[in-house]
Amino acid sequence: MLKIKTPKTQRAARALEKRAPKLVENGKKTLILHGTKTSGVLNDVLTQIYHLKRGNAVKYTKKNKEIRPFESGGETSLEFYSLKSDCSLFVFGSHSKKRPNNLVLGRLYDHHVYDLVEVGVENLKPMESFMYDKKLAPKIGSKPFFAFIGEGFESVEELKHLKEVLLDLFRGEVVENLNLAGVDRLYVCTAISQTTVFFTHCALRLKRSGTTIPRMELVEIGPSMDFVVRRHRLPNDSLKKEAMKTASQQSKKVKNVSRDVVQGKIGKIYMPDQQVGGMALSNDIKGLKRQRREAKMKNSAKEDQAKKRKTDS
């Protein structure tokens, strides 16, 4: 039997409450890891993704020999790091002769591997290779646009899966309202073939158009690269059903509470019979002290009258 530990300090209680399930979830954090062997291109890719996700990413620079996401038992260390850093997304890079410049993108549910997409990185152009006005540089934490170009994202199973993972990876926090002036970046994904996707990062430049809606121009700021889909693993039906559960929006009916248009929220309180007449009273009650004082004064008055009568007689 697993022992359920309870927090012993207020700090531990706040940490557990922060990680507890919520109706409105926090923004997803990304875990970036290196494999046993990596190449210079792959190191640049992981660094570029870390810069794009700055503020919502945790990067470990040490090599990890035990992590093999697609093999049974090879995800134990990955899940441990996910629990340690409280991350629900991960990017794992490895390099070998069979799979050069290999990048594994995945999602986790309850700190267990949910699904995986393995891609090969080709034709990398880092941010430093692009020349543009530094005023157009996107701000940290800004919301991006996404453009998926090509029929493959609707018909090919591998590209549909890659689309879902990329949306989760780069979209940031979910918001209800958005100011157009605060949107300053765009991710463009173009399906070149059934297995290859061109990925690039652009800045948005707003110009006058003579109407209330400004004209938008794209300025490529990098990074840009080609993703070649190699393998992917979808979640099983039972895990997917459990992960898709949502809390019911209907609030539970509270007893003895009603709402009125005029008076607002009205509540009824049950008060049992207190039986005041049979309650035991203490001797420290001020009312009893007053009664005793008055009785004493009356007794002293009667004694004085009795003494006067004796003296008169």
Quickly count helices (H) and strands (E) in the chain.
7, 11
Q: State the Cα–Cα distance between residues 95 and 120, nearest whole angstrom.
A: 10
Predicted pLDDT of residue 269: 86
On average, the pLDDT of the chain sits at 87
Look at residue 246 and give its three-state secondary structure. coil
- Rounded mean pLDDT of 134-141? 81
Tokens describing residue 126: 């880092």
| 148 membership: H or E segment, kind and range | strand 144-149
Q: Put the strands of the sheet holding 112-125 in their side by side order.
A: 57-63, 30-34, 89-94, 102-109, 112-125, 215-233, 196-207, 185-191, 144-149
Q: Is the dihedral of CA 125, 150, 146, 42 positive or negative?
A: negative
pTM of the model: 0.75
Q: Please, are residues 146 and 186 in contact by the beta-carbon 8 Å criterion?
A: yes
Q: Please, are residues 88 and 171 in contact by the beta-carbon 8 Å criterion?
A: no
Predicted pLDDT of residue 41: 95
Per-residue pLDDT of 268-281, as tens digits, reads: 888 888 777 777 76
Strands 215-233 and 112-125: antiparallel
| Pure H helices in the chain | 10-19, 40-52, 76-85, 152-155, 157-170, 237-243, 286-312
- Rounded mean pLDDT of 95-114? 94
Chain centroid to CA 184: how far? 23
Predicted pLDDT of residue 2: 46
Predicted pLDDT of residue 179: 77
CB count in 10 Å sphere of residue 234: 14
149-179 burial, b for 16+ CB within 10 Å, e for fewer?
ebebbeebebbebbbebbebbbbeeeeeeee
| Pure H helices in 108-261 | 152-155, 157-170, 237-243
- Rounded mean pLDDT of 2-22? 78
Q: Judge whether residue 1 has pLDDT over 50.
A: no
* Burial (CB count <10 Å: 0-12, 13-18, 19+), residue 227: buried
Per-residue pLDDT of 35-49, as tens digits, reads: 999 999 999 999 999
- Rounded mean pLDDT of 59-83? 92
Q: Judge whether residue 73 has pLDDT over 60.
A: yes
Predicted pLDDT of residue 313: 61
Q: What is the DSSP letter of 171?
A: S
Q: Judge whether residue 109 has pLDDT over 80.
A: yes
Instruction: Tell me the residue length of the chain.
Output: 313
Look at residue 133 and give its three-state secondary structure. coil
